[in-house]
Amino acid sequence: MNRLGGATSPYLLQHRDNPVAWWPWGEEALAEARRTGKPILLSIGYAACHWCHVMAHESFEDEATAAVMNDLFVNIKVDREERPDVDHIYMSALQALGEQGGWPLTMFLTPEGEPFWGGTYFPKEARFGRPPFVTLLREIARLVQEEPGRVAHNRQALLTHLRAEVRAAPDASLGREWLDQVGQALARAFDPVNGGLKGAPKFPNAPLMELLWRHGVAQADSRAEALVYLTLEQMARGGIHDHLGGGFSRYSVDEIWLVPHFEKMLYDNAQLLPLYALAAVRTGQDVFSEAAEGIVTWLLRDMAMPEGAFAASLDADTEGEEGLTYVWSKAEIDHILGPDSALFSAHYDVTPEGNWEGHIILNRRQAPETDDATRRKLAAARQKLLAVRQGRPQPGRDDKILADWNGLMIGGLARASLMMNRPDWLEPAKSAYRFVRESMSRDGLLGHSWRDGRLLVPGFASDHAAMAIAALALLEATGEAGYLEDALHWTKVLQDHFADESAVLFMVADSAAGLVLRPQPTHDDAVPNANGLHAEALVRLAELPGTHREDVDKVLATLAGRAREAPFAHGTILNALDLRLNGASIVVAGKERAALMAAARTIPYPNRTLAELPPGTSLPEDHPAAAQIASAGEGAAFVCVGDHCSLPLTDPAELQARVAALTAKTKPAGNGG
């Protein structure tokens, strides 16, 4: 056993019996590199990663390869989900070398932790145009010894690039006209046949789908809105969607959403859930409501932890084979379903030759229309197949609890529960929230990862920002004031410990140590960027009692300036900007609020904020409705866009119509059903 035996990360524990003398990331490992003068081989991955497993089986479990690694390098293994800060720094360095990036990430560092070269997956034997891994290791070690000038040149160039990224200056404020231009460009970038961004592979990029939806609503552009529904529908019909067990895989390797990388990530499904609920409400189509319900079914069946929160991911591989749990043969389906097999096969692309490497990935891309009786038969067939599949070997589950990923799912559950009238989805959201808030907090700050009774601290900006959004979603769903207090607390933590003088957040707190630099990205990655989540939280908080509005526009102007050169990489920030510029602020005041609040909660969350004012409470002084609250009488709602507010509204139907008139100028459009 190497030094990973005491780790909390399931990914690190997968490597504890490797013959490689792995160190976990930390000062002890860096001190060992400085003591020996050896360069560092840094390997970063995650538990659900297929190619991480391939490289591990080929090289890290091989005695001869490990002997070379141990002789020439200090070897450090990192779980990117536990240490997104470390991953960001060295992934940025790899991309600065002109590489596309991905995992496993293999970087070579000086004993001080400074990067000088790297790549992703390296095969044990020469293939894919890459040299054998051992040959590469020896060449890197030779360069360090014999050509230190080349290493120093690369090291300095990469550090200059990384530090320039941190120092990038904000641009000027950008507004509605620019957002409209971005929305038009985004619509052109979407695939008009399959949805999503054109080309392959295809990722379910939720922030960009939301941004395109916002553009469609704000500009009465029915085509843009329809492209979002097309994307969600094609995904729901494709193989990236688990038609038996619910939920979505991380991405599709092709442009038609057919062949997934089979890992299922909590963060993807957290972001997709409210979008599917939104599409279901806007179009009334079953394909969207069924996808949303499937995500929650999968979540509660496969990802719920005894603590009340949710696990991080399910592996792509089962017993070393990608997708083994999920794929089928026609003979299997015929045997299980008997006389119902022909009907099921016609609807789920079941053929003797299969559709992926001789196997069958269930999908409904070309499925015929169905009546109610057929739907019932297909549902029964799916249950039979799922029961059989549950008896197969199952993919590994990464059961660490991540505060930011749980925050995303809590918010998704709360928002979907309101839109789809599923109050039963609120309790798991509240349960997960309680655990993160109560068990993953130390001295007022959140930790990042919990597993086996151990909390990894300190937490990151993303943890506090995602939990602030979760608190605000639960506040809207329940009206419980404690959630507002938490959201205010976590945004203050961000401002006090993570923000620079321009209010842009660093990934790590001001107490963080052991990094070659303090990363400050603003672009979205696999998860929404903390700056965008924080900006959304500030916009929503600015509409609530007891808060302050003056800093919101300053933060948004700075972040929008950062986003100007690459707007598609900053969807979360632009969504917050759109909410500020185009969203409706709904204020419900007076003693008789229940019916109006119930109506307001059903209005889709992306383009509205919601403030409930019991008697005796007030809005921020600069809120456009602040002076009108006295006219609420026994109970009334006010709808404000920009600096203008409606007259008091006392009829719930009138409230919904008013918001629809202001923020939903286009008739909802769908693509099939």
Q: State the Cα–Cα distance between residues 657 and 345, nearest whole angstrom.
A: 44
Buried b (16+ CB within 10 A) or exposed e, 153-183: ebbeebbeebeebeeeebeeebeeebbeebb
101 backbone φψ class: left, alpha, beta (φ>0; ψ -120 to 50)? left
How do residues 264-287 score in pLDDT, each as one tens digit? 999 999 999 999 999 999 999 999
pLDDT score of 131 more than 90? no
Q: How many CB atoms lie within 10 A of CB 351?
A: 9
pLDDT of amino acid 129: 77
Cα 7 to its chain centre, rounded Å, is 25
- pLDDT, position 62: 97
Measuring CA to CA, which residue among 270, 528, 198, 540 is closest to residue 416?
A: 270
Distance CA 183, CA 221 (A): 10
Q: Quote the CA–CA distance of 333 and 343 in Å, as a whole number.
A: 11
Q: Which residue has the higher pLDDT, 250 or 630?
A: 250
pLDDT tens column, 71-115: 999 999 999 999 999 999 999 999 999 988 899 999 999 999 999
Angle at alpha carbon of residue 354, lines to 351 and 358, rounded to 5°: 145
Look at residue 666 in the predicted model and tell me its pLDDT: 38
Give CA–CA dist 391/397, Å, rounded: 16
pLDDT of 25 > 50? The answer is yes
Positions of E strands within 115-242: 115-119
Rounded mean pLDDT, 350-364:
97
Average pLDDT, the chain: 93
Helices and strands (H, E) in the chain, number of each type: 24, 21
Residue 629: its pLDDT value, please? 87
Whole-number pLDDT of residue 173: 61
DSSP 345-368: HHHTT--TT-SBTTBB----TTPP
pLDDT higher than threshold 90 for residue 133? yes
385, 378 Cβ separation under 8 angstroms = no
What pTM value is reported for the model?
A: 0.94
pLDDT tens, residue by residue, 200-222: 999 999 999 999 999 999 999 99
- Grade residue 665 by pLDDT with cuts at 50, 70 and 90: very low
% residues pLDDT > 70 (the chain):
96
β-bridge mates for residue 441, sequence order:
446
Query: Residues with Cβ < 8 Å from 281, sequence gap 6 or more?
Result: 419, 420, 602, 604
Of 217, 218, 221, the C-alpha closest to 188 is 221
Mean pLDDT, residues 483-512 taken together: 94
For the segment 545-560, the average pLDDT, to the nearest whole number, is 83
* C-alpha to C-alpha distance for 585 and 539, rounded to whole angstroms: 10
| pLDDT for 18 beyond 90 | yes
pLDDT for res 668: 38
Is the dihedral angle over the CA atoms 202, 204, 205, 208 positive or is it negative? positive
Of 314, 270, 319, the residue nearest 292 (C-alpha): 270
Query: At 164, is the pLDDT very low, low, confident or very high (cuts 50, 70, 90)?
Result: confident
Residues forming beta bridges with residue 454, ordered by sequence position? 451
Residue among 343, 365, 345, 366 at smallest CA distance from 354 = 345
C-alpha span between 219 and 211 (Å, rounded): 12
Q: Give the confidence band of 442 by pLDDT, cuts at 50, 70, 90.
A: very high
How confident is the model over 561-616, as pLDDT tens digits?
899 989 999 999 999 999 999 999 999 999 889 999 999 998 889 989 999 988 88
